[in-house]
């Protein structure tokens, strides 16, 4: 049984046609990789799936038990507050604060959950790790990662690969849009997004 379906999704920004009749079915346990040139529309597709943007045509059909977590472009945080405050605040918004899970994720990425330094003091890679954690910390069953490895060092990329394989094993579905093909991730399908079309490879 599918978790979500993109049916005939098209999107333009004025005269720029970005997505043209995109069809995609996502099932539990799927790990999908989408790649394509800068500006081909990867983030736009993710934003439509997350209801941040509206498609001009087509629809996103969601199963009743779908819960989406996402890292899209630069994750936004309350800069004056700590990692702890930000993650607890975001999780609390949906009543899904699971401190043990958040601590495990911070430990995986070697972030100190108890460090009270403000987020504005975090490096690019540290912020990216925090963005990955906020995307998965509520045990959602569908995770969208847009350029997840941006700013990550080799060790963090390996930890990220480990996290993805673990999520897939638990039946979660993961969609990664990236220029980096992660060799240790067990992708179930890969796609090229080009000239508005999503093509299975």
Question: Which residues sit at the interface with ligand ATP, rule CB under 6 A?
Answer: 13, 16, 18, 36, 38-44
Closest to ligand ATP by CB, 161 vs 180, is 180
Beta bridge partners of 143: 69, 174
d(CA 194, CA 159): 30
CB of 97 to ligand ATP, least distance (A): 31
| Parallel, antiparallel or unpaired: strands 68-71 and 16-26 | unpaired
d(CA 25, CA 2): 7
CB of 157 to ligand ATP, least distance (A): 18
CB of 89 to ligand ATP, least distance (A): 26
Closest to ligand ATP by CB, 73 vs 79, is 73
Closest to ligand ATP by CB, 51 vs 112, is 51
Closest to ligand ATP by CB, 42 vs 127, is 42
CB of 179 to ligand ATP, least distance (A): 7
CB of 98 to ligand ATP, least distance (A): 30
Closest to ligand ATP by CB, 111 vs 152, is 152
d(CA 5, CA 178): 20
CB of 38 to ligand ATP, least distance (A): 3
CB 86 within 8 A of CB 119: yes
State the burial class of residue 103 (Cβ atoms within 10 Å of its Cβ: 0-12, 13-18, 19+): middle
Closest to ligand ATP by CB, 13 vs 181, is 13
CB 179 within 8 A of CB 40: no
DSSP string, 25-67: EE-TT-EEEEE-STTSSHHHHHHHHTTSS--SEEEEEE-TT--
């Amino acid at each position: 049984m599918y978790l979500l379906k993109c049916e005939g999704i098209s999107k333009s920004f004025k005269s720029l046609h970005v997505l043209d009749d995109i069809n995609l079915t996502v099932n539990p346990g799927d790990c999908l990789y989408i790649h394509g040139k800068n500006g081909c529309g990867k983030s736009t597709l993710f934003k439509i799936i997350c209801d941040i943007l509206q498609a001009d045509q087509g629809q996103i059909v969601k199963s009743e038990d779908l819960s989406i977590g996402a890292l899209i472009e630069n994750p936004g945080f309350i800069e004056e507050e700590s990692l702890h405050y930000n993650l607890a605040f975001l999780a609390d918004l949906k009543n899904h604060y699971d401190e043990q899970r958040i601590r495990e994720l911070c430990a995986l990425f070697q972030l100190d959950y108890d460090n009270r330094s403000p987020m504005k003091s975090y490096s690019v890679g540290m912020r990216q790790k925090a963005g990955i954690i906020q995307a998965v910390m509520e045990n959602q069953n569908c995770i969208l990662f847009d350029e997840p490895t941006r700013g990550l060092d080799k060790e963090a990329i390996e930890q990220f690969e480990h996290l993805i394989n673990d999520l897939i094993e638990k039946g979660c579905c993961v969609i990664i849009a990236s220029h980096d093909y992660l060799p240790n991730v067990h992708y179930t399908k890969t796609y090229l997004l080009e000239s508005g079309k999503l093509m299975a490879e």
